[in-house]
């Protein structure tokens, strides 16, 4: 399992009249967490695609735990792990950076495919990512 924390500030356009973030933003923030985790692991998602590995979402789940409003600084704590032989699971926990209060959590499960959509097994290089072995120089 590999884990990474990224900070994100709630933008004005992401807040609503109830004084909290708009619910659909959580999936977008989780995408930020996934992208930054893969970048920190030394294998950005753009590189996956360049090598012919796609990772479409096949399942997701969300839980809303608290509020976060405009200008709040959040921690996106994301981890990745295997979900069988041809799927990956990314879990993200969102907390307020200043006090650690929970805001939300969720997961996405991704099938690995070729660009044509044919399922493929998890590549060997993914084991290095799971073990925290970076490809960065």
Residue 8 makes CB contacts below 8 A (sequence gap 6+) with 29, 32, 73, 74, 76
pLDDT tens string 16-72: 999 999 999 999 999 999 999 999 999 999 999 999 999 999 999 999 999 999 999
pLDDT of residue 100: 98
Q: Tally the C-alpha atoms within 13 A of residue 126's C-alpha that lie toward its C-beta.
A: 20
With 0.85 as the threshold, say if the pTM is over it.
yes
Q: Which domains does the chain have, with CATH numbers?
A: 2-130 (3.10.129.10)
Distance separating alpha carbons of residues 79 and 61, to the nearest angstrom: 15
Distance separating alpha carbons of residues 114 and 55, to the nearest angstrom: 9
pLDDT of residue 136: 44
């Amino acid at each position: 399992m590999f884990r990474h924390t990224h900070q994100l500030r709630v933008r004005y356009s992401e807040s609503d009249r109830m004084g909290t973030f708009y619910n659909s933003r959580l999936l977008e923030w989780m995408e930020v967490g996934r992208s930054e985790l893969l970048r920190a692991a030394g294998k950005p998602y753009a590189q996956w695609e360049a090598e012919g590995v796609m990772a479409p979402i096949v399942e997701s789940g969300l839980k809303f735990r608290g509020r976060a409003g405009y200008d709040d600084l959040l921690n996106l704590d994301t981890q990745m792990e295997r979900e069988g032989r041809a799927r990956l699971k990314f879990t993200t926990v969102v907390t307020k950076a200043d006090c650690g209060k929970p805001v939300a959590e969720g997961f996405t499960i991704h099938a690995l495919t070729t660009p044509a959509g044919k399922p493929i097994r998890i590549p060997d290089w993914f084991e290095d990512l799971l073990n925290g072995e970076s490809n960065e120089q």
